[in-house]
Structure formats: structure tokens, C-alpha cells
Amino acid sequence: DSGVTQTPKHLITATGQRVTLRCSPRSGDLSVYWYQQSLDQGLQFLIQYYNGEERAKGNILERFSAQQFPDLHSELNLSSLELGDSALYFCASSGSGTDNEKLFFGSGTQLSVL
Amino acid sequence: LAKTTQPISMDSYEGQEVNITCSHNNIATNDYITWYQQFPSQGPRFIIQGYKTKVTNEVASLFIPADRKSSTLSLPRVSLSDTAVYYCLVGDARGPIKAAGNKLTFGGGTRVLVKP
């Protein structure tokens, strides 16, 4: 168990809809990362937050947005969903003690857009 | 941001040693090298991390030459359960707290298949 919690584990929705994925980082970790992994694809970095502030952006679509709340949990919002958005979305956290640069991943949210 | 290059796939047999080399020619002074293991439909899991020379833990060894332009993950005596994708990641040790953020970008990974 990595200590990172992602909910829900599975999400099935239709094109054009909006969904919210939630991530609770490890206790003490201030940084949260979001990744997208499509079938047989690598991990695509989306965005990073540190202590509530957006710090780095990767290949995140304008239809996607994220935020990190004062209690350090984070949410990834995906809107106007398309079939191609179907993927496994991972959250990772880091930044605690001596583990600053080690990522601890959640078990992911499997999104299916029909 | 240092780009990494790894072999796409490797096959091995139970009990053998598996060595995966990652190239990172433009690694920066503050960058650490970290390896992750990923099983299907699961999040990557930290295996080992190093800065230079050799690091060993209970599951693997990491060899880093003096120029740090490459690194080799060594998995001793693999079993069927070691079948997974292995990712090499290079990132600034200060990454999570830097004002500019930390685009920790994974490469394509190496798909290791362990056969009986």
C-alpha cells in the first residue's frame, strides 16, 4: 500500500460529460502529480501541484483542470469527454522528509468513455 | 529535463539476472536516477534510486558510471512475478519543492517478460 488513495477506482460515462477524479496523498506529502496512461501507452505527465499551488504543467488538455485543496487532497476535472479520454489516471505524491523526489502512486482511476 | 532511452522489451528465464540499461546523456548535476516497476493496471512502484556509483537494496542493484550518462538496473535471479514494465526516471532531487515545478516525465519503459 503506497499510502496514496484514489477514488473512484472505475468510472464509466458518456461522451460530452464531466467527471471528477480524487486523490489523497500520503501523509505529510505536499506535492501531487497527475498522470494519464492510455492502453499500451506510457505514463503521460499532466500536472503537478505543491502545497496548493500549480507548479508544472505537461500535456494537459484545456478541457482538463486540477486543483489541490488546503487539506492537500487533489481533484482532476475532465470535461467535454471524448472517447480518446478513456485511460487509466494515476495520482502520485512526494515531498515528505527524505523521500522528496520519490513518487508514490495510487492504484489509479480507470475511466471509460462510451 | 533529461530525456531517457531504454530498450523496449527484454525476455529472460526464471533464476537469471536481468540487466536493463537506461541512457540519459544530458543528465544535470542535481538529477537523481530512479527506477520504477509497473504491473498491468497498477500504479508504478519505486524500486531503487541513486546518484552515482552503486546502490543496492533488497530487490535490485543500480549501477551508475562516473559520467552518469547511463545507469543499469540489475534484477538478480528473477521470477515469473518480476514480469512487468520497468521505467527509468531522471529528475531533480529538489524537484517537488522547486518554484518551477517538476515535470517528472516517464519514458516508454522496458517490458520484461520472465519465462519459466
pLDDT digits (tens, 9 = 90+) for B91-109: 876 655 555 566 777 878 9
Cβ atoms of B109 and B102 within 8 Å: the answer is no
Mean pLDDT across chain B = 89
Residue whose entry in the numeric block shows the C-alpha cell 478513456: A86
Compute the C-alpha angle B67/B69/B70, nearest 5°: 115
Taking residue A62's Cβ as centre, other Cβ atoms within 10 Å add up to: 7
Asked if A25 reaches chain B (Cβ–Cβ under 8 Å), the answer is: no
Residues facing residue A44 across a β-bridge: A36
Residue B69: closest CA among B106, B35, B28: B28
Chain B residue nearest residue A108, CA to CA: B43
Asked if A16 reaches chain B (Cβ–Cβ under 8 Å), the answer is: no
Output DSSP code: residue A25. P
Using DSSP, how many helices (H) and how many strands (E) does chain B show?
0, 9
Write down the pLDDT at residue B96.
Answer: 54
Write down the pLDDT at residue B108.
Answer: 84
Asked if B86 reaches chain A (Cβ–Cβ under 8 Å), the answer is: no
Q: Which chain B residues are Cβ-neighbours of A106 within 8 angstroms?
A: 43
Return d(Cα A105, Cα B45) in angstroms, integer.
Answer: 7
For chain A, how far is it from start to end, CA to CA, in angstroms?
31
Q: Which chain B residues are Cβ-neighbours of A94 within 8 angstroms?
A: 95-96
Write down the pLDDT at residue A98.
Answer: 62
Return d(Cα A15, Cα A38) in angstroms, integer.
Answer: 17
Write down the pLDDT at residue A43.
Answer: 87
Counting Cα atoms < 13 Å in the Cβ hemisphere of B61 gives 11
Write down the pLDDT at residue A95.
Answer: 74
**Among partner residues B41, B94, B103, which is closest to A88 by beta-carbon distance?**
B41
Q: Which chain B residues are Cβ-neighbours of A90 within 8 angstroms?
A: 43-44
Q: Which amino acid is at B62?
A: L
Residue B9: closest CA among B99, B93, B115: B115
Mean pLDDT over B37-65 rounds to 93
Specify burial of residue A70 (Cβ count, 10 A radius: 0-12, 13-18, 19+).
Answer: exposed
Residues facing residue B21 across a β-bridge: B72
Cβ atoms of A89 and A21 within 8 Å: the answer is yes
Using pLDDT thresholds of 50, 70 and 90, give the confidence band for residue B10: very high
Mean pLDDT over B10-24 rounds to 96
How big is the A-B interface in CB pairs under 8 Å? 89
Is B41 within 8 Å of A105 when comparing Cβ atoms?
no
Residue A27: closest CA among A90, A89, A99: A99
Cβ atoms of B76 and A31 within 8 Å: the answer is no
Return d(Cα A69, Cα B33) in angstroms, integer.
Answer: 30
Query: Grid coordinates representing A22?
Result: 480524487
Write down the pLDDT at residue B102.
Answer: 65
Write down the pLDDT at residue A28.
Answer: 87
Is A101 within 8 Å of B107 when comparing Cβ atoms?
no
Q: Which chain B residues are Cβ-neighbours of A50 within 8 angstroms?
A: 96-97, 101
| Whether pLDDT at B2 is above 80 | no
Asked if A81 reaches chain B (Cβ–Cβ under 8 Å), the answer is: no
Q: Which residues of chain A have pLDDT under 50?
A: none
